[in-house]
Each structure stands twice: as structure tokens, then as C-alpha cells.
């Protein structure tokens, strides 16, 4: 039996394949935009039913790899040796973990993604963070929704897109926004932004907002302060290198937070921006349901959560023009998050 470990670092991914008898297969390096090649390598070396192991600081690969028929397990910090702030443990250590910890690693799924088995923990951390979030909201450092247009300015909504830039979905989303003459806000993953600077440049050139969605899409409660600051600074550097502007907004993966991570983010001069309207497009419920989810929840000042990466986003692309038309017909004006909060 073969297992494959996939490690991340500043440059992309390393894949290592290990057999149950300790035999190592050929390792390989891949860029952040080469998920199909990663899947092909694993299937060639390990077989089409291979088990892949990622860790809780990598929330970018499980969905796309499951599309290729691979079983993706998540290793949590207590299953692994210590890791650096700017990467995971090695790919070989991740592959070996599948063999050393049978039954302990969690299988990811389409319902909760990389967070499978830890949703209750996510909710508990959010509840514990409520007082800190309220304090930071009063300082303008935490946001679930904007104040809306107010009298005489009309109702306003911000459409936001997470997990990209990712081909071909980000460009398709940009085409739709351009054709309708409306802006969006893209919360970009650093690994993806560094691999697709041309798309980042297009986002900026066409007048859309750009925010920080961390470097590797980690579950924030697993991070130390140094870990979090790497995620923020590396992503901001990748985006600023293209746009000339340092993002001031952070969209946390899964909406995860703790009192500490909220404070560390604010102390670093950034504002945590979540959402009040979840289209649930990440669950691929169908284009019609994505539109319905948005329109049922949206109100003046809403921040709408959608995705242009992290898996097959063809349903999001199909839903978007219908949603934009519906919101405009309802009298909303679509704005960036910066416009919504008056930045």
C-alpha cells in the first residue's frame, strides 16, 4: 500500500510517496497552480486509489484532489512533528504519518473540506472570540457586514470571492463582472497569487478590491503568532509586488479565529473581514440554489461570500450573472468592501 504526502512551502508543493514497507517512490516539486499534475503524479506512482495526506495548514488541495478520485486525509498538529512557520512538515513525514497513525487521520469530504471533523471546534472558537470581536468591531478592526448606503445613497452590497486566483474560474468571474459593469472584492491566497501574478494584475487594473486570504489557507487556531504573521506578510508581499498596494483586509479561512488571532491581526494593522451572507457555493448545491441563498440573506450592507478557487467553481460562474441581475433589479448597488466600509 502506498501513501503520498504533500507539503507546502513558499514556492509551492513537494510530493513524496511511501509504501507500507518503507520503500520510497520518486519525489517531485510542483507549482501552486499545478494541481492536475500533482494528481497525475500520485496516481502514476501510488495507483488510482491512493491515499494522500495534507496537514491542517493546507486547505487548498483536498477538494481538487478528490475530484481526481484520490482519498485525502488531514493530519493535525498533534499527529506531526514541529514545523516551521513558513511551511508544513516534510512530504515524507506526512506520507509516513498515514502509515504510523492508521485510523487517526481524518478523511476530508465535500461537506466540510479540510475542516472535516473540526467544525464543532471552529464554532466553539468563534463563540469564545465574540467579546474580542465586538471590541475590535468598535475600533473598525472586525467586520461582518457594512453599514449600507444610508439615506439618499441607495442600498449597497459587496460581492467577495475567496481562494483564488485560480484558472479558469477567476478570469470567468472577472469577465462577468466586467460585462455587468460592477466590482467585486477578491480575497487572494498567497500561494495562488504568487503563481498567477497576471490575474492579480487584471483584478487590480479592472478596479476590484483585493484582500488577504492567507498564504496556505490554514485553520487559524493551529497557528502561533509567528505562524500567523508569516501568513499575513507573505501574502501581502505577493499582492503588493503586483499591485503596489498593501492589503488592509484579512478574510480568515473558514472564518476561523480565536481571541489571540483576532488581536494579532489587529495589532498588525489589518482588519478581519468575514461575511453575513453565505451562498454556500463551496458545497456546489447548484447555480439556482447559490442565487437563492444569496438573495434570501442579502440586505443593505451585506458582504456576500463566494469562491473563485478551491475546487470546481463552474456553478459559481453560472450563478453569478443571474445573481448580479437579481440584486440590481432589487435596487442594490454593488461595491467593493473598501467602498462599503468607507475606506
Looking at domain 2-107, its CATH class is: alpha beta
- pLDDT score recorded for residue 27: 85
Instruction: Decide: 304 and 185 in contact? Cβ < 8 Å.
Output: no
Among 55, 62, 79, 162, the one annotated catalytic: 162
- pLDDT score recorded for residue 148: 66
**Structure-block grid coordinates of residue 167:** 484558472
Domain chopping of the chain, boundaries:
2-107, 131-341
Among 163, 249, 307, 308, the one annotated catalytic: 307
**DSSP β-ladder status, 13-19 and 2-8:** antiparallel
**Structure-block grid coordinates of residue 337:** 468592501
**DSSP β-ladder status, 209-212 and 142-143:** unpaired
CA-CA-CA-CA torsion sign (37, 42, 43, 44): positive
Least confident of 72-76, 220-224, 339-343: 339-343
Instruction: Decide: 337 and 309 in contact? Cβ < 8 Å.
Output: no
- pLDDT score recorded for residue 149: 61
SS3 (DSSP) at 212? strand
Q: What is the mean pLDDT of residues 44-61?
A: 91
pTM, two decimals, is: 0.95
Q: List the beta strands (DSSP E) in the chain.
A: 2-8, 13-19, 28-30, 51-55, 71-75, 106-107, 142-143, 155-162, 185-188, 209-212, 249-250, 271-273, 277-278, 303-307, 332-335
Q: Does domain 131-341 have CATH number 3.20.20.370?
A: yes
Q: What is the mean pLDDT of residues 122-137?
A: 98
- pLDDT score recorded for residue 242: 98
User: Is 307 part of the annotated catalytic residue set?
Assistant: yes
| Structure confidence by residue, pLDDT tens digits, 28-45 | 999 999 999 999 999 999
User: Is 163 part of the annotated catalytic residue set?
Assistant: no
Q: pLDDT at residue 151 above 70?
A: no
Average pLDDT, the chain: 94
- pLDDT score recorded for residue 265: 98
| Structure confidence by residue, pLDDT tens digits, 153-209 | 679 999 999 999 999 999 999 999 999 999 999 999 999 999 999 999 999 999 999
| Structure confidence by residue, pLDDT tens digits, 322-334 | 999 999 999 999 9
Amino acid at each position: 500500500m502506498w501513501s503520498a504526502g504533500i507539503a507546502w512551502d513558499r514556492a509551492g508543493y513537494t510530493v513524496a510517496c511511501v509504501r507500507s514497507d518503507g520503500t520510497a517512490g520518486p519525489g517531485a516539486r510542483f507549482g501552486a497552480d499545478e494541481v492536475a499534475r500533482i494528481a497525475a503524479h500520485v496516481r502514476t506512482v501510488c495507483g488510482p486509489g491512493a491515499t494522500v495526506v495534507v496537514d491542517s495548514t493546507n486547505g487548498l488541495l483536498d477538494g481538487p484532489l478528490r475530484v481526481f478520485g484520490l482519498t485525502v486525509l488531514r493530519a493535525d498538529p498533534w499527529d506531526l512533528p514541529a514545523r516551521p512557520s513558513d511551511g508544513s512538515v516534510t512530504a515524507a513525514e506526512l506520507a509516513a504519518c498515514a502509515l504510523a497513525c492508521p485510523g487517526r487521520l481524518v478523511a476530508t469530504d465535500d461537506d466540510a473540506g479540510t475542516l472535516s471533523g473540526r467544525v464543532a471546534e471552529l464554532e466553539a472558537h468563534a463563540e469564545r472570540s465574540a467579546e474580542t470581536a465586538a471590541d475590535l468591531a468598535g475600533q473598525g478592526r472586525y467586520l461582518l457586514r457594512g453599514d449600507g448606503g444610508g439615506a439618499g445613497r441607495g442600498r449597497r452590497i459587496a460581492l467577495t470571492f475567496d481562494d483564488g486566483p485560480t484558472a479558469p474560474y477567476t478570469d470567468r468571474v472577472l469577465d462577468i463582472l466586467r460585462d455587468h459593469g460592477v466590482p467585486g472584492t477578491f480575497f487572494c491566497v498567497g500561494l495562488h497569487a504568487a503563481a498567477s501574478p497576471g490575474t492579480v494584475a487584471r483584478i487590480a487594473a479592472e478596479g476590484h478590491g483585493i484582500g488577504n486570504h492567507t498564504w496556505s489557507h490554514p485553520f487559524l487556531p493551529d497557528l502561533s503568532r509567528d505562524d500567523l504573521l508569516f501568513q499575513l506578510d507573505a501574502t501581502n508581499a505577493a499582492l503588493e509586488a503586483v499591485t503596489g498596494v498593501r492589503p488592509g483586509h484579512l478574510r480568515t479561512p473558514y472564518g476561523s479565529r480565536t481571541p489571540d488571532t483576532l488581536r494579532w491581526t489587529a495589532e498588525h494593522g489589518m482588519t478581519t473581514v468575514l461575511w453575513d451572507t453565505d451562498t454556500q457555493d463551496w458545497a456546489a448545491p447548484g447555480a439556482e440554489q447559490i442565487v437563492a441563498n444569496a438573495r434570501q440573506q442579502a440586505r443593505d450592507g451585506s458582504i456576500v461570500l463566494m469562491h473563485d478557487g478551491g475546487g470546481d467553481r463552474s456553478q459559481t460562474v453560472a450563478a453569478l450573472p443571474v445573481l448580479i441581475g437579481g440584486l440590481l433589479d432589487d435596487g442594490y448597488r454593488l461595491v467593493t468592501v473598501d467602498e462599503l466600509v468607507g475606506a
